[in-house]
Chain A
Amino acid sequence: MIRAYHQPKGIDEALSLLKNGAQAVAGATGLYSNRKKLDGELVDITGLGLDGIEVTKGEIRLGACVTLTKLLEADLPGNEGAFLKLVARHITAHTMRNAITLGGNIAHTVFWADMPVALLALDAKLVIARAGEAEKTVAIADALQGAAPWKGGLIVKIIVPIVQGRTFGYERLSKTKNDYAFVTAAASMKLTDGKAKDVRVVLGAIQPKPFRASDIEAALEGKAVDADALAGAAKSALDLPIAPNFRASADYRRDVTSALVRRAVAQAAGQE
């Protein structure tokens, strides 16, 4: 049962409520679709001014309460901006996107969460605030491992670096456009003299949390993305661990994973 619904106007008040065990509510789409299971006090964080979007020379800084709709309507620079929008567009449907926030999509750690897949490919960072502590910046890859660093506090900002010449690929297979994904694959790299640098290959919906396929990344790093390299990536994707899923069998999704990894890498390399 929800015992209290707090609507603080300032971040300090929100953080002290969170420190005392209350739970943050942002878009409410995750929390209220399981409302009967909630027990305790809620802190509405949508009145804290965390919905700003700031573009600097080298970064896109997104407030944690920016909704997917606001992201889609914003003027965002670079391949990074286009990639963020491509991913946001595939998440559920219009009215839901009016509510779902970036912070909520990260903190509601479920296998189908799509934004963390994108943020891993983007090398994004999270700014975490906690009562009585200085804000701290954590790489998304670290934040998604082990205990959530925002527990008892808040994600306040998401920082996306803008890297000249970085390119992206994105593939998502689902039953309908706005259903949960069977598999999601994202790739990013920087092609220098025909060689792939800083390669990221990220998989979503095949494990409880999205993750970087470091073996595939390492095999592609510093190489030309030719037919052999793509075939190699597709082949090693067959070895990735695939958790069961209520939409489709692991065997089917293993084959899909392999195909989507190949396509996402080829797209990022400008070949599809």
Chain B
Amino acid sequence: MKFTTTINGVIRDIDCEPGMNLYELLRSLGIKGVKQGCDTEGTCGACTVLIDGEPALSCLTPAPRVAGHEVTTIEALGTPENPHLLQREFVDAGAIQCGFCSPGMILASKALLDRNNNPTHAEIAEALSNNLCRCTGYVKIFDAVKNAAAAMRKEAANGKN
């Protein structure tokens, strides 16, 4: 079926099978930052993307549902030379080991920080409650999100935002 959607700021005309999920659609477009870490059953969060800025599990999102909406994947966030603030803090804090959970973690963190740049520990736990990390033990991920929040507040105070 045919529809139009915006993916990472680019308007795209899609023609896909009606039963596709958003995860399959994004991978078929060569967007490999979305990962599948469970049996597409909502338990891992590695497939997290943002739809209109809010986190969604792409494996449980019917692809046609993003018609007319904006999808953001990790590819939109930065480059190796010029990483997004969250990516930089994740690297600096050692919050990335195998990296499989990182796109989902970072996007879920972005949704949180975009609305609240001074989250409590409990608010971070809530925002990341659907994201499983099998490596880090989470402590460094929480550090990274807190450091990114502090950096964001500093940028805001300096009027750069």
- A residues engaging B (CB < 8 A)? 1-5, 7, 25, 27-29, 32-33, 35, 38, 42, 44, 46, 92-96, 98-99, 177-178
Contacts and interface: CB of A to CB of B under 8 A. Distances in A.
A60 B78 CA distance: 45
B73 to A, nearest CB: 15
Nearest to A7: B64
A95 B19 contact: no
Contacts of B108: 94-95
A134 B62 CA distance: 31
A59 to B, nearest CB: 29
B11 to A, nearest CB: 19
A99 to B, nearest CB: 6
Contact of A94 (B18, B65, B130): B130
A32 B61 CA distance: 7
Given A94-B55, A94-B126, A94-B129, A5 B42 contact: no
Interface string B10-27: 000000011101000000
A1 B21 CA distance: 12
Interface in B37-91: 40-42, 45, 48, 54-57, 59-62, 64-65, 67
Contacts of B1: 4-5
B132 to A, nearest CB: 10
6 contacts: A2-B19, A3-B19, A4-B18, A7-B65, A46-B65, A95-B108
* Most chain B beta-carbon neighbours within 10 Å: one of A25, A28, A178: A28
B40 A32 contact: yes
Contact of A28 (B60, B127, B131): B60
Contacts of A7: 64-65, 67
Contacts of A96: 42, 57, 60, 130
B64 A5 contact: yes
B62 A32 contact: yes
A216 B46 CA distance: 44
Contacts of A4: 1, 18
* Most chain B beta-carbon neighbours within 10 Å: one of A1, A27, A93, A177: A93
Given A7-B64, A93-B129, A96-B42, 5 more contacts: A2-B19, A7-B67, A42-B62, A93-B45, A96-B60
Contacts of B57: 29, 95-96, 99
Given A1-B19, A4-B18, A32 B59 contact: yes
A33 B48 CA distance: 15
B18 A3 contact: yes
A94 B108 CA distance: 10
CB-based closest 8 A-B pairs: A2-B19, A95-B130, A93-B129, A93-B130, A5-B18, A33-B41, A32-B60, A95-B55
Interface string B93-120: 0000000000000001000000000000
Contacts of B59: 32
A5 B62 contact: yes
A3 B17 CA distance: 8
A98 B42 contact: no
A92 B130 CA distance: 8
A158 to B, nearest CB: 22
A92 to B, nearest CB: 7
Contacts of A94: 55, 108, 126-130
Contacts of B42: 29, 33, 92, 96
Given A32-B21, A33-B40, A98 B62 contact: no
A95 B105 CA distance: 11
Contact of A95 (B17, B21, B45, B64): B45
B55 A98 contact: yes
A33 B60 contact: yes
A71 B40 CA distance: 25
Contacts of A32: 21, 40, 59-62
A155 B48 CA distance: 29
Contacts of A98: 54-56
